[in-house]
């Protein structure tokens, strides 16, 4: 059963966490220009602002090699430190992000967040974390059943700790699970398949407090995602929306109260400068027409939608400029689409 989001979506603007900024104040200023602000992750600012490093704070056996910009789990240390993890399982405050691992997050919490329709945070998915982080032999920890089991429990507590902190500032908060690696479980070469992942993700989300969200920029099996027990799904609609709207399960997802955050404004410089409000609106409307043929009205789609940048972006030669322009275009697009779909 879906819990739903405790605020009106109606094409509200938001974004996922990673920004290319190296200045905390500038990043926060940009995040607060959106309807639903978020706390930015700034990997260019510090090794510890990386989303994987943040998620691994206090994980048993973790080794942070700041000099070589890498993190891994030492198996022997994992088992040695496991009792310490178990001894704190009932204390969610132990799993909260510390100042060292996100100075930005702590600054975000100092703002008056109560005046916004909602605010959100984000934590890396246990699937993506376990696929990317390796042990001392370079083997992904997803293949160690003991470590993977702890990863799911550990990240669930990280999510809940963050949710409680955010909800203390704004009761309409939620925490997105960021899952950049999820699409790889559908690869025939993956030893951790989608059947196992679905079962473990279901159990994971059952223990997540507050609205349950999932974000990814790739192109997975959308039936898999839409059948999970989630309330909001965020995708790169600019690249994959045409595929996404052809899945029959999307109609049921929206009809049951699910929300879609359409990542429609490109943040890459080349793509961005080839678009404008009307071209992006036309893209969205074409997708929504396809979906409406399945029995979901354009009005209902708009009511249960949010708009966002298509992706995070650290690669532009102009560093922050295109990303900041994309946020401005996003706000303008939201106003334009509201006049067309919600008036």
pLDDT, residue 185, reads: 84
User: Residue 341 CA to chain centroid, in angstroms?
Assistant: 26
* Of the candidates 287, 268, 277, the residue with the CA atom closest to the CA atom of residue 328: 277
* Of the candidates 238, 260, 203, 208, the residue with the CA atom closest to the CA atom of residue 313: 238
pLDDT, residue 269, reads: 95
Q: Are 175 and 212 in contact (CB under 8 A)?
A: no
* Of the candidates 106, 130, 108, 119, the residue with the CA atom closest to the CA atom of residue 55: 130
Distances (CA, A) of 145 to 29, 150, 151, 152, 324: 42, 9, 10, 11, 42
CA dihedral over 298, 4, 229, 101, signed as positive or negative: positive
Residues facing 177 on adjacent strands: 123, 214
**Separation CA 175–CA 105 (nearest Å):** 13
pLDDT, residue 182, reads: 85
**Separation CA 44–CA 35 (nearest Å):** 25
Arithmetic mean of pLDDT, 83-95:
95
pLDDT single digits (tens) 243-271: 999 999 999 999 999 999 999 999 999 99
pLDDT, residue 343, reads: 58
Q: How many CA atoms lie within 13 A of 308 on its CB side?
A: 31
* Of the candidates 307, 223, 222, the residue with the CA atom closest to the CA atom of residue 259: 307
pLDDT, residue 155, reads: 98
Number of helical (H) and strand (E) elements in the chain, helices listed first: 14, 10
pLDDT single digits (tens) 202-226: 999 999 999 999 999 999 889 999 9
| Low-confidence winner among 19-33, 54-68, 175-189, 279-293 (lowest mean pLDDT) | 175-189
pLDDT, residue 78, reads: 98
* Of the candidates 271, 250, 262, the residue with the CA atom closest to the CA atom of residue 13: 262
pLDDT, the chain, mean: 95
pLDDT higher than 60, residue 188: no
How sure is the predictor about 191, in pLDDT bands with cuts at 50, 70 and 90? confident
CATH of 12-341, one of 3.20.20.210, 3.50.50.60, 3.40.50.980, 3.40.50.1370: 3.20.20.210
* More confident site: 171 or 343: 171
Strand pairing report for 212-216 and 232-235: parallel
pLDDT higher than 70, residue 189: no
Q: Are 50 and 41 in contact (CB under 8 A)?
A: yes
How sure is the predictor about 190, in pLDDT bands with cuts at 50, 70 and 90? low
| Extents of the domains making up the chain | 12-341
| Low-confidence winner among 3-7, 114-118, 272-276 (lowest mean pLDDT) | 3-7
pTM recorded for the entire structure? 0.96
pLDDT, residue 230, reads: 96
pLDDT single digits (tens) 13-64: 999 999 999 999 999 999 999 999 999 999 999 999 999 999 999 999 999 9
Which ranges of the chain does DSSP label H, i.e. alpha helix? 24-31, 51-55, 75-87, 103-109, 126-132, 145-167, 194-206, 222-226, 237-244, 249-255, 269-272, 277-292, 298-303, 321-341
């Amino acid at each position: 059963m879906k819990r739903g989001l405790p605020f009106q979506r109606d094409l509200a603007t938001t974004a996922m966490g990673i920004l290319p900024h190296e200045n905390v104040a500038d990043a926060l200023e940009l995040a607060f220009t959106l309807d639903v602000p978020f706390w930015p992750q700034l990997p260019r600012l510090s090794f510890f602002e990386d989303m994987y490093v943040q998620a691994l704070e206090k994980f048993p056996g973790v080794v942070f090699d700041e000099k070589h910009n890498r993190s891994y789990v030492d198996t022997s240390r994992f088992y040695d430190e496991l009792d310490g993890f178990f001894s704190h399982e009932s204390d969610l405050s132990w799993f909260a992000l510390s100042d060292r691992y996100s100075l930005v997050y702590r600054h975000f919490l100092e703002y008056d967040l109560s005046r916004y329709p909602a605010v959100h945070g984000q934590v890396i998915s246990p699937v993506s974390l376990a696929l990317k982080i390796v042990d001392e032999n370079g083997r992904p920890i997803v293949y160690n059943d003991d470590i993977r089991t702890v990863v799911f429990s550990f990240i669930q507590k990280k999510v809940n700790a963050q949710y409680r902190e955010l909800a203390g500032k704004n009761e309409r908060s939620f925490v997105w699970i960021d899952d950049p690696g999820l699409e790889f479980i559908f690869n025939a070469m993956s030893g951790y398949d989608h059947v196992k992942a679905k079962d473990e993700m279901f159990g994971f989300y059952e223990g997540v407090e507050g609205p349950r969200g999932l974000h990814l920029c790739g192109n997975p099996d959308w039936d898999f995602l839409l059948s999970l027990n989630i309330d909001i799904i965020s995708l790169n609609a600019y690249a994959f929306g045409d595929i996404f709207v052809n899945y029959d399960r999307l109609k049921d997802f929206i009809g049951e109260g699910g929300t879609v955050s359409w990542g429609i404004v490109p943040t890459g410089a080349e793509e961005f400068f080839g678009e404008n409000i009307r071209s992006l609106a036309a893209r969205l409307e074409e997708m929504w027409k396809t979906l409406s043929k399945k029995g979901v009205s354009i009005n209902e789609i708009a009511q249960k939608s949010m708009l966002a940048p298509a992706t995070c972006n650290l690669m532009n030669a102009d560093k922050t400029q295109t990303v900041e322009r994309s946020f401005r275009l996003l706000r303008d697009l939201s106003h334009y689409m509201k006049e067309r779909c919600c008036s």
